[in-house]
Amino acid sequence: MNAPYLTLATAFRTLFGRRAKKIPLDAGSACPNRDGTLSRGGCVFCNAAGSGTGLYHKGFGLRAQWDRLTPPARARGEALVAYLQSFSNTYGPLDRLAGLIGELAALPDVAGICLGTRPDCLDAEKIDMLAGAPVDHVRLEMGLQSARDDTLSRINRGHDAAALARTTRAAAAAGLSVTVHLMAGLPGETMDDFLASVDFINALPVSGVKFHNTLVLAGAPLAALHAAGGYVPMDRADYVAAVCEGLARLRPDIAVERINADPAPGELVAPDWAADKQGLLRDIRDALERGGIRQGCRREPGEAAP
């Protein structure tokens, strides 16, 4: 690994034998933390867009979205991974999920499937069905955000860390790949809390991780807390330090799929520095180089993956 950490591009090249591209698709999925099953407010950091494109509610079905979004990757000869991104795509009855998987597997030249979801939206039947999907690769992206249960309660997550651990183990045992989301700078947390969350996922059979700085987004509950002075975002230097130390402690076989959040145009309230994506990435790269930091360099020799 020449880069200081294992990128998703490198992991996908090993998996597919060529470059691969995740194509973000919107299936119009719901979330138990928004439809009243758990709550209607959602997680404190999430706004109504749910980090998605919104194309489903604009009248574009999955095939139409695929045809619209895949031409650039096709022209580059990349493997195509259908990525259901927004909200909780395994939420709801089994037959709905089966229908979605059938649609995705029928997309032209699809090489793999990735579904964004929550650990409490998967059970044994759904995991077995996903494991039997007629594609070469199935990946689950699950939000954990923090391994501290008091934090999960504070941010209105609606599940505990043990739920993520159970679901990850069950999915991996069925042959599915799992990517976990972690956030630095959550309300009430320190850098040490973020690093403890890295240690938590190191002990699980995860294939990938996404690191996010906590954003205050317009329309999210966190925006009101921030406006009232009840939340101050992590500063830029501390986030860079948290990512660098997190990478140093991260198991070397875990693909690092993201190292900073990427707000949509017009939705960022704070911190201002989060809008400077390329500058932040450059700061992280420079800090890794200055510190001689490589993924897993702080782990004890001989520590094995679970």
> What gap in Å lies between CA 44 and CA 41, rounded to an integer?
7
Residue 185 · residue 157 · CB < 8 Å: no
Q: Can you give the pLDDT at residue 71?
A: 98
Give mean pLDDT, residues 131-147: 97
Q: Can you give the pLDDT at residue 59?
A: 86
Give mean pLDDT, residues 200-209: 98
Q: Can you give the pLDDT at residue 141?
A: 98
Give mean pLDDT, residues 281-296: 97
> What gap in Å lies between CA 140 and CA 206, rounded to an integer?
10
> What gap in Å lies between CA 180 and CA 116, rounded to an integer?
10
The DSSP line for 25-94 is: E------TTTSSSS-SS--TT--TTTTS---GGGT--HHHHHHHHSHHHHHTT-EEEEEE-SS-TT-S-H
Give mean pLDDT, residues 226-248: 98
**pLDDT one-digit tens code per residue, 146-185:** 999 999 999 999 999 999 999 999 999 999 999 999 999 9
Q: Can you give the pLDDT at residue 233?
A: 97
**pLDDT one-digit tens code per residue, 63-84:** 999 999 999 999 999 999 999 9
> 305 or 42, which is more confident?
42
Is pLDDT above 70 for 49? no
Residue 274 · residue 213 · CB < 8 Å: yes
- pTM reported for the whole predicted model: 0.95
* Confidence band, pLDDT 50/70/90 cuts, at residue 300: confident
Q: Can you give the pLDDT at residue 103?
A: 97
Q: Can you give the pLDDT at residue 2?
A: 75
Q: Can you give the pLDDT at residue 180?
A: 98
